[in-house]
Chains A and B, each alone.
Chain A
Amino acid sequence: MVESGLIESVLVANRGEIARRVLATARRLGIRSVAVYSEADAGLPFVREADEAVLIGPPPPAQSYLDQAAIIAAAQRTGAQAIHPGYGFLSENAEFAQRAEAAGLIWVGPPPVAIELMGDKINARNLMAEAGLPVAAGTAEPVTDADEAVAAAAAIGYPVMVKAAAGGGGIGMSAAAGDAELRAAFETARSRAERFFGSAAILLERYLSPARHVEVQILGLASGRVLALGERDCSVQRRHQKVAEETPSPGVGPALRGHMLAAAVRAGEVVGYRGAGTVEFLVDVPTGGFVFLEMNTRLQVEHPITEQVTGIDLVEQQLRIAGRGEVSFAEQAVKPQGHAVELRVYAEDPSRFLPSPGTISEWSEPAGPGIRVDAGYAAGNQVTPFYDPLLAKLCVHAATRDEALARARAAVADFRIAGVRTNLPFHADLLDSTEFISGAYDTSVVSRLRP
């Protein structure tokens, strides 16, 4: 029996580990669950763990997980009351959120207008600067050609970062230290932006280096109040994509933390945020200052480490807030305990990080106190080239950072995956590197480990 005030059923418009993770909380709360899947994913655990599963199309995302009409039809056919979008795919698509609401479904996410305000990185930057948040020097309008980019860079000062305004996942992003590099970076960014995001709008920002990537988890309550639930350090990245995260950040002291959490709350208030969201910042290592980077208006991949240190199930709070209910915890009681680390286990070779699709012949997860594995696959499953390479997230929690790292080393050694190559050997090297152990690392740490 579902508790009153909670939604009664939810369709999860996603796949792999995040679909499975959302389904687990739905099951615990007694909420009926519906999965949708493509032909490529029929054998994955999330499909059989849902109360009901609907095949929505062939493997390419455009014909399945991005097919708005097919997903809404599946929700209506199964009588699902709400849609949880997970991350990626349609999670930050304001049009889809609107279509779901117009079809009478509850959108488990922020109001569509908040998605739209934050979805364009140029608009988000301008809006946050207006609200008093620090932003890096950059362009306030889309840059349309390479000559304009060179002129803008002269005003900003090199090095600059070139980004797709509608982008995400590091796609099309690169840094440039001079005019020639900038022209090449601009053309690459523009072609990627058009292809992946359907918009050629490009922005330039001053590139901070060395820098740490630190983000704040926020939760917008049904009452309109916005809470900050601590930060996560996501500086371990390859190709501008996160590989490992930890909380608390070893590079953030109490004063800086206070400023960042307050800025994140302000960002959420400005756009009328509801539900779980993440405000990303860059911390400039030489000065200790920080700037707003972007906001992700959805559940974040690395949300489990915040759950481990706070004891709060963020998906449960999303579902409660979507049903206009109260959160399950007392605000005053939120006090992060200990240290948590997430290691993203990717199907890729551990030295050059090239994709490694294939069939999983062996899958054996580590288990024990403080160990959590959010996995999307099991033995016998196919890892296909159609989707991102994330197989599982290995998350460890302990009283101190040293203990968490020791626990992580043992867990990495105990994780057995065969049939596809994985980056587990990279994680073993990371956990043994003096730079990572010291805590004094920045966003270039992976390039030093894998020159």
Chain B
Amino acid sequence: MAEIRAEMVANVWKVVTAEGEQVSGGDTLVILESMKMEIPVLAEDPGTVTKLAVAEGDVVQEGDLIAIIE
């Protein structure tokens, strides 16, 4: 199981994946925006998205859970 967490304070611009989806390593899960920059959050390893903890427009703090991949 891998917990994907936010590396910084940011706004959630786009959610690219959905719960239940199969992803490969390197796939984009969500795109964050901070300081006028878009930051893609990637799956490190292949698996299934069992939890998606954010929605578009949310503000995430550093360390907040974004998704769980099993």
By a beta-carbon cutoff of 8 Å, the part of chain A in contact with chain B is 169, 171, 239, 347-348, 354-358, 384-389
8 Å CB contact of B9 from A171, A357, A388, A389: A357
List of A residues within 8 angstroms of B10 by Cβ? 355, 385
B7 near A388 with CB under 8 A, answer: no
List of B residues within 8 angstroms of A171 by Cβ? 36
Q: CA separation between A348 and B11, bound complex, in Å?
A: 16
* B1 on interface, CB distance cutoff 8 Å: no
B8 near A354 with CB under 8 A, answer: yes
Closest chain A CB from B48 CB (angstroms)? 27
B39 near A354 with CB under 8 A, answer: yes
Q: Contacts A354-B37, A385-B10 known; list 15 others, CB within 8 Å.
A: A348-B35, A354-B8, A354-B39, A355-B34, A356-B8, A357-B34, A358-B9, A385-B33, A385-B34, A385-B35, A386-B35, A387-B35, A387-B36, A389-B35, A389-B37
Per-residue 0/1 for B12-41: is the Cβ within 8 Å of any A Cβ (1 yes, 0 no)? 000000000000000000000111110100
B7 near A385 with CB under 8 A, answer: no
Main DSSP-derived SS at the A contact region: loop
8 Å CB contact of B7 from A169, A347, A354, A384: A354
A385 near B9 with CB under 8 A, answer: yes
Q: A355-B8, A356-B8 are in contact. Are A347 and B36 (CB under 8 A)?
A: no
List of A residues within 8 angstroms of B11 by Cβ? 385
Chain A, residue nearest B37 (CB): A355
Instruction: Give the top 3 A-B pairs by smallest Cβ distance, nearest first.
Output: A355-B35, A385-B34, A355-B34
Q: CA separation between A355 and B11, bound complex, in Å?
A: 12
Tell me the total A-B contact number using a CB cutoff of 8 A.
37
A-B contact pairs, 12 of them (CB 8 A): A169-B36, A354-B37, A355-B10, A355-B35, A356-B8, A357-B9, A358-B9, A385-B9, A385-B33, A385-B34, A387-B35, A389-B36
Interface extent on B, as a size class? 10 to 19
Closest chain A CB from B44 CB (angstroms)? 15
List of A residues within 8 angstroms of B7 by Cβ? 354
8 Å CB contact of B39 from A355, A386, A389: A355
List of B residues within 8 angstroms of A239 by Cβ? 37
Closest chain B CB from A37 CB (angstroms)? 18
Q: CA separation between A387 and B35, bound complex, in Å?
A: 5
Closest chain A CB from B28 CB (angstroms)? 13
Residue in A169, A357, A388 with the greatest tally of chain B CB atoms within 10 Å: A357
Chain B, residue nearest A389 (CB): B35
Chain A, residue nearest B36 (CB): A388
List of B residues within 8 angstroms of A358 by Cβ? 9
Q: CA separation between A358 and B7, bound complex, in Å?
A: 12
List of B residues within 8 angstroms of A356 by Cβ? 8
Chain A, residue nearest B7 (CB): A354
Closest chain B CB from A356 CB (angstroms)? 6
Closest chain B CB from A352 CB (angstroms)? 10
Q: CA separation between A252 and B33, bound complex, in Å?
A: 38
Q: CA separation between A318 and B34, bound complex, in Å?
A: 32
Closest chain A CB from B62 CB (angstroms)? 8
Chain B, residue nearest A239 (CB): B37
List of B residues within 8 angstroms of A355 by Cβ? 8, 10, 34-35, 37, 39
Residue in B11, B33, B35, B39 with the greatest tally of chain A CB atoms within 10 Å: B35
Q: CA separation between A387 and B7, bound complex, in Å?
A: 17
Chain A, residue nearest B38 (CB): A192
Q: CA separation between A387 and B34, bound complex, in Å?
A: 8
Q: CA separation between A239 and B39, bound complex, in Å?
A: 13
Closest chain A CB from B7 CB (angstroms)? 7
List of A residues within 8 angstroms of B39 by Cβ? 354-355
Q: CA separation between A354 and B7, bound complex, in Å?
A: 9
Q: CA separation between A388 and B10, bound complex, in Å?
A: 12
List of B residues within 8 angstroms of A384 by Cβ? 9
List of A residues within 8 angstroms of B34 by Cβ? 355, 357, 385
Residue in B7, B10, B11, B37 with the greatest tally of chain A CB atoms within 10 Å: B37
Closest chain B CB from A351 CB (angstroms)? 13
Closest chain B CB from A51 CB (angstroms)? 30
Q: CA separation between A449 and B7, bound complex, in Å?
A: 24
List of B residues within 8 angstroms of A386 by Cβ? 35
Closest chain B CB from A90 CB (angstroms)? 15
Q: CA separation between A332 and B54, bound complex, in Å?
A: 61
List of B residues within 8 angstroms of A354 by Cβ? 7-8, 37, 39
List of A residues within 8 angstroms of B36 by Cβ? 169, 171, 387-389
List of A residues within 8 angstroms of B35 by Cβ? 347-348, 355, 357, 385-389
Closest chain A CB from B12 CB (angstroms)? 11
